Amino acid sequence: MADSEYALELKGITKIFPGIKALDDVYFKLKTGEIHALMGENGAGKSTFIKVITGVHAPEEGEMYLNGRQVAFNHPTDAQKAGIAAIYQHVTCYPDLSVTENIFMGHEKIRRRTRCILWDDMHKEAERLLGELGAGFDPRTPMGALSVAEQQLVEIAKALSVDAKIIIMDEPTAALTSNESEELYRIAERLRDNGASIIFISHRFEDMYRLASKVTVFRDSKYIGTWNVDEIANSDLIVAMVGREISQLFPKKEANIGEEILRVEGLGKAGYFADVSFSLRRGEILGLTGLVGAGRTEVCQTLFGVERYDKGKVIFKGKELKVRNPRDAMRQGIGYLSEDRQKQGLVLQWDIGRNITLSALEKFSGGGAIDKRKELEVAKSLAEKVGVKAKSVFDLVSSLSGGNQQKVVFAKLLTAELDVLILDEPTKGVDVGAKSAIYEMINELARSGYGIVLVSSEMPEVIGMCDRVAVMREGRITAMLDREVLTQEAILKASMDDTAPGALEGRRAEA
């Protein structure tokens, strides 16, 4: 049993889900006591990679070594026993159970002989762990009553409670303000100093520079490389992550901005967002960015009629807009491309053609019956227009790559006569080739007179594509940045600063 300098080593990992290769021959080496950043864009395979390490998914190919010894995890408990703990991106909690139980689920403290759970000990231990992390809530509180940041602390406490040697943090800062992130950095450093090895997953450079000593990059489910953080230039890292230089990725676009088409005034929904105001003109691409959970998606979904707002009003084409459901919104001329295309955008079990025509079926029907020939014709021409790569329109959508699936969703939007398109993370989980095709498509749409709201977390995308950017934090718009003042720093400041949103009011560009 050779002791290795690596706490964890993975070689040639391949994981296949029906229809997609989520990981393709991936390598990773984690030294004992280091913080190793794992970077890549959304959908690069990072999350699947963690689930392989933690035993949730068994890989089809590849080997895994723990301290130089080969291991194979068939089940999450195997990984837990080996001292691996993960803090997942989407907090995975039991909302009905107490904080203590959430921390100790799967490894409760029990009395040896009677196998009785020692509640008092667990509450005390939970209190201690939470205290260490600087959290002030009672461990007996039900998990569902906590905020996202608090729930994240509980997740960290969970990792601490198993005394994990390897801790994986999956985008832990995605929803945190800068003060909260700073606190998280300190916790991570303390864990490292106590001998834990940490895999820190993020697509934010600040996280990496602040914390990590090594960085590994994945792109399109493939392993790209590993570097020392102080040896790689920022631009090289971007090329590694994105696949080409950013300037090549975004097409030049001549602004051709027309009259105002949509104006939102003081929109609010209790618990989600408040005081959201902006306007959008024909031909304009308005960026909407901010931390995960800042309320961007919620605003879009309210405009699209998925949810209702309880304050403010929306003015569309000069008239006040009232939509009760997505159908109304589409009839009026507002289209929405959702963030989660697998759950909200597509019927995966269906073929390309049927997916494209679903939202405009009336157009192909006479007396209620569907005119299948006409439907097929339209579906075929739209699929060809957006450049879906497939053999026929009868190919199942589930068999397509992420990029091609997204093109199908775009084709769906083109079936209706729309004026405003709300695109929520349109390039998430899409490979580079498809990405630039999508960017070109968005520009093309803007040129032809659509008003476009582009929601995105990817900084280069926001800066490269948008004419103006609204930054949201904690449910409010904290800045409206024009193209001339659009920099990474300005966006970050507006999205993460802990000062009251009101303080930034003075700096807002005229909307």
Q: Are 262 and 451 in contact (CB under 8 A)?
A: yes
Q: CA–CA separation, 417 vs 335, rounded Å?
A: 9
- Give least dist CB 416 to another protein, A: 8
DSSP, collapsed to helix, strand or coil, labels residue 428 as: coil
Q: Which is nearer to another protein, 74 or 247 (CB)?
A: 74
| Closest CA relative to residue 216, chosen from 400, 426, 9 | 9
Q: Which is nearer to another protein, 322 or 385 (CB)?
A: 385
Crossing angle of helices 178-193 and 148-161, in 10° steps, is 0
Q: Which is nearer to another protein, 308 or 385 (CB)?
A: 385
Q: Are 256 and 283 in contact (CB under 8 A)?
A: yes
Q: Are 154 and 143 in contact (CB under 8 A)?
A: yes
| Closest CA relative to residue 188, chosen from 203, 174, 204, 208 | 208
- Give least dist CB 28 to another protein, A: 20
Q: Which is nearer to another protein, 283 or 475 (CB)?
A: 475
- Give least dist CB 19 to another protein, A: 12
Q: Which is nearer to another protein, 146 or 261 (CB)?
A: 146
Determine how many CB atoms are found less than 10 A away from the CB of residue 289: 26
Angle value at C-alpha 227, between 240 and 173, nearest 5 degrees: 75
- Give least dist CB 361 to another protein, A: 4
Q: Which is nearer to another protein, 438 or 463 (CB)?
A: 438
CA 505 vs. chain centroid, Å, equals 28
Q: Which is nearer to another protein, 318 or 366 (CB)?
A: 366
- Give least dist CB 49 to another protein, A: 15
Buried-state track 371-388, b at ≥16 Cβ within 10 A, e below 16: eeeebbebbeebbeebbb
- Give least dist CB 484 to another protein, A: 29
- Give least dist CB 214 to another protein, A: 26
Q: Which is nearer to another protein, 12 or 326 (CB)?
A: 326
Q: Determine the residue type at 483.
A: R
- Give least dist CB 7 to another protein, A: 21
Burial degree of 14 (CB within 10 A; 0-12, 13-18, 19+):
middle
